[in-house]
A and B are shown apart, each in its own frame.
Chain A
Amino acid sequence: KAGVTQTPRYLIKTRGQQVTLSCSPISGHRSVSWYQQTPGQGLQFLFEYFSETQRNKGNFPGRFSGRQFSNSRSEMNVSTLELGDSALYLCASSLDRGQETQYFGPGTRLLVL
């Protein structure tokens, strides 16, 4: 069974631009969570989607948004990019809300110049 896939793997953007990252969960998994990893703040939860609904959200500004499609694929969007948004963005999938074990993708490394 294929693992979690994320595209693109690397991105370079400039301040003020917006970016969309994509995540395809493991087949059959319905829950998708997003995390931001930076050297200073470590791994921080962004949001979680289940059955196309955002169920939980971390402490990030409204510039960070996401959505989930009917096939469980998810996208996250960051608008008006800031230098501090440079990070590794990780997506994780789990079977459903009752099965919490999360499997992570390789991440998208975003550099904002």
Chain B
Amino acid sequence: GEDVEQSLFLSVREGDSSVINCTYTDSSSTYLYWYKQEPGAGLQLLTYIFSNMDMKQDQRLTVLLNKKDKHLSLRIADTQTGDSAIYFCAVSKSNTGKLIFGQGTTLQVKP
């Protein structure tokens, strides 16, 4: 079946790098996403990667995909207090309109 797993909590110091990890089970997943959710808000799309890519960089964000291990990671460089939020990993298959989400990782950034 389809399953996405994330660790629940990560605490870092301001200025450090954060790495949030995600594993998934469905090898036919074609699109993989990272969303951010702040308290009381909806989901903000941060970045996404296609399954035929290994890495994508977007300003402070770096996504790494290891298809063999079905492992996705999000690195946030120079983490700021404004990055404190819940980060969700999600995967989808082409033409289903359906995202499968992990449980979310709460990122706490200490000043």
Specify which chain A residues have a CB less than 8 angstroms from the CB of B48 in the assembled complex. Answer: 101
Please state if A100 and B42 are interface contacts (CB–CB under 8 Å).
Answer: no
Specify which chain A residues have a CB less than 8 angstroms from the CB of B31 in the assembled complex. Answer: 100-101
Output the nearest chain A residue to B104 by Cβ-Cβ distance: A42
Min CB–CB distance A92 → chain B (angstroms): 8
Known: A105-B42, A106-B42. A33 touches B104 (CB 8 A): no
Known: A42-B101, A43-B88, A104-B45. A98 touches B94 (CB 8 A): yes
Number of A residues whose C-beta is below 8 Å from B? Answer: 25
Number of B residues whose C-beta is below 8 Å from A? Answer: 24
Specify which chain B residues have a CB less than 8 angstroms from the CB of A107 in the assembled complex. Answer: 41-42
B residues touching A (Cβ–Cβ < 8 Å)?
30-31, 33, 35, 41-45, 48, 88, 90, 92, 94-104
Please state if A43 and B94 are interface contacts (CB–CB under 8 Å).
Answer: no
A residues touching B (Cβ–Cβ < 8 Å)?
4, 31, 33, 35, 42-43, 45, 48, 50, 55-56, 58, 90, 92, 94, 97-98, 100-107
